[in-house]
């Protein structure tokens, strides 16, 4: 869930990041891709700051600085850069209150990063009106529309971006759009095209990770492992790729190796996705006190950077059914995305409201997304309603899509299916 939410936020920064990386000269001693990218981004920010010292009323430079800060927040995982981004973008608008497409583009990217998707849509519409031939503006709009559940409009925005600039960012967005519709083969082809046009190590690593994730989510462990390993040849310390290898190790029964990898990841890159996966794997092996500590860290992060959907999923895994429902209902009030429908269905089930839960589980499934978690939740709800044959079919579908979709819930799906049979 965290990975899919992050796709649109991440791809938005690829063009800026690669532009920055290409300006860094190579040396005899290769550095990790992420370190090179972060160093290049610092150079870009410093150069823009120098320009603004000379021309402090340059609205476009202020907009560029704000967008760079949004990307820096993503690269470093430090949300404090969002405030810097907001300040720079507000300064751009102050100097050019109207017809400032680059500021709207940056404000839209910032709103997407903060998961304020309604505001991101509004800024994206303003940006595309002023910059109709700028691919990045259509990308910001596509990201917002995707997360708001406006599937047809999002597809149109992605197609416009592809028409303007068929590169890594647009192909990756297209892959995510196709994946949500259940078009897995087409999504894989789009990611392979992204890989084919990738011109910098950061882009290659990015594409390998998402190819690995698509393979893993569809039960193809060996293919997923190959993509992760190919990416690690370029950057052996990349956190996303190491997270992928940890999932594969856990799925193959190599749980000590997986736990060691997760422990290293959360120590140096304590992102919510890694903390959550680590906590669930600890739960799966019976180390509940350690899992609780990971959940505590997650709770602290959500207090600093609220995210009701992610927090609802975590609350459900932690056993706080009331909190999971409250958060899922709040998120559903803002946007009707399949991920939110699924989270609300599961929260309603945990609160004993299975008749209501089924409607939302069906809503999530109606998107066509081949998502093992959706199918598992729907199967459990159907079983609770006594609809045994339909429940068995949904659980079989979950395990057919990905028998390793969760170290905690996949065994539950197997056991529940056996009981129904």
145: tokens are 């529309």
Instruction: Say if residues 346 and 332 touch (Cβ distance below 8 Å).
Output: no
Check residue 159 and give left, alpha or beta (phi > 0: left; psi -120 to 50: alpha). Answer: alpha
CATH topology of domain 1-165: 1.25.40
Question: Shortest CA distance to 379 belongs to which of 351, 418, 336, 324?
Answer: 418
Instruction: Say if residues 95 and 62 touch (Cβ distance below 8 Å).
Output: yes
- What pLDDT is attached to residue 34? 67
- What pLDDT is attached to residue 78? 86
Verdict on whether the full-model pTM lies above 0.85: yes
Q: Which residue has 């992760």 as its token pair?
A: 228
- What pLDDT is attached to residue 16? 41
Angle, CA 337 vertex, CA 335 and CA 339 arms, to 5°: 125
Q: Which residue has 């910032």 as its token pair?
A: 110
CA distance 188 to 209: 12
Task: Tell me the average confidence (pLDDT) per consecutive run of 10 residues in the chain, 421 residues long.
Answer: 44 40 37 70 93 96 96 86 97 97 98 96 98 97 97 97 97 97 97 96 96 98 98 95 98 97 95 96 97 95 91 97 98 97 98 98 97 98 98 98 98 97 88
Instruction: Say if residues 231 and 29 touch (Cβ distance below 8 Å).
Output: no
Domain ranges of the chain: 1-165, 253-306
């Amino acid at each position: 869930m965290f990975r899919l939410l992050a796709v649109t936020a991440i791809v938005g920064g690829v063009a800026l990041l690669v532009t920055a990386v290409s300006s860094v000269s190579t040396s005899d001693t290769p550095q990790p891709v992420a370190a090179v990218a972060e160093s290049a981004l610092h150079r870009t920010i410093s150069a823009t700051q120098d320009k603004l010292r000379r021309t402090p009323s340059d609205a476009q430079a202020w907009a560029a600085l704000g967008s760079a800060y949004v990307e820096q927040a993503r690269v470093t995982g430090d949300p404090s850069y969002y405030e810097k981004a907001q300040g720079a973008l507000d300064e751009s608008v102050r100097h050019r209150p109207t017809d400032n497409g680059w500021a709207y583009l940056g404000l839209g990217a910032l709103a997407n990063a903060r998961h304020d998707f309604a505001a991101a849509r509004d800024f994206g519409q303003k940006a595309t009106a002023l910059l109709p031939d700028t691919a990045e503006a259509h990308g910001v709009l596509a990201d917002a529309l995707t997360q708001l559940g406006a599937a047809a409009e999002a597809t149109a925005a992605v197609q416009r971006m592809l028409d303007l600039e068929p590169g890594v960012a647009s192909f990756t967005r297209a892959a995510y759009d196709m994946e949500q519709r259940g078009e897995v083969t087409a999504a894989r082809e789009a990611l392979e095209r992204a890989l084919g046009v990738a011109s910098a190590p950061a882009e290659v690593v990015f594409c390998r990770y998402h190819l690995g994730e698509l393979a893993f989510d569809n039960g193809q462990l060996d293919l997923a492992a190959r993509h992760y390993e190919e990416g690690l040849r370029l950057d052996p310390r990349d956190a996303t790729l190491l997270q992928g290898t940890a999932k594969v190790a856990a799925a193959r029964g190599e749980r000590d190796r997986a736990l060691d990898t997760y422990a290293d990841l959360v120590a140096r890159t304590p992102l919510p996705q890694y903390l959550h996966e680590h906590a669930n794997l600890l739960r799966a092996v019976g180390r509940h006190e350690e899992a609780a500590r990971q959940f505590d860290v997650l709770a602290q992060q959500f207090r600093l950077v609220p995210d009701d959907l992610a927090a609802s999923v975590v609350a459900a895994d932690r056993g706080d059914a009331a909190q999971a429902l409250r958060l899922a209902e709040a998120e559903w009030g803002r946007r009707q995305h399949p991920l939110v429908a699924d989270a609300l269905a599961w929260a309603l089930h945990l609160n004993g409201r299975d008749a209501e839960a089924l409607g939302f589980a069906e809503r999530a499934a109606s998107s066509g997304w081949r998502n093992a978690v959706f199918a598992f939740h729907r199967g459990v709800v159907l079983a609770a309603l006594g609809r045994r044959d339909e429940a068995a079919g949904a659980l079989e579908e979950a395990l057919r899509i990905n028998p390793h979709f969760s170290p905690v819930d996949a065994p539950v799906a197997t056991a529940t299916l056996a009981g129904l049979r």
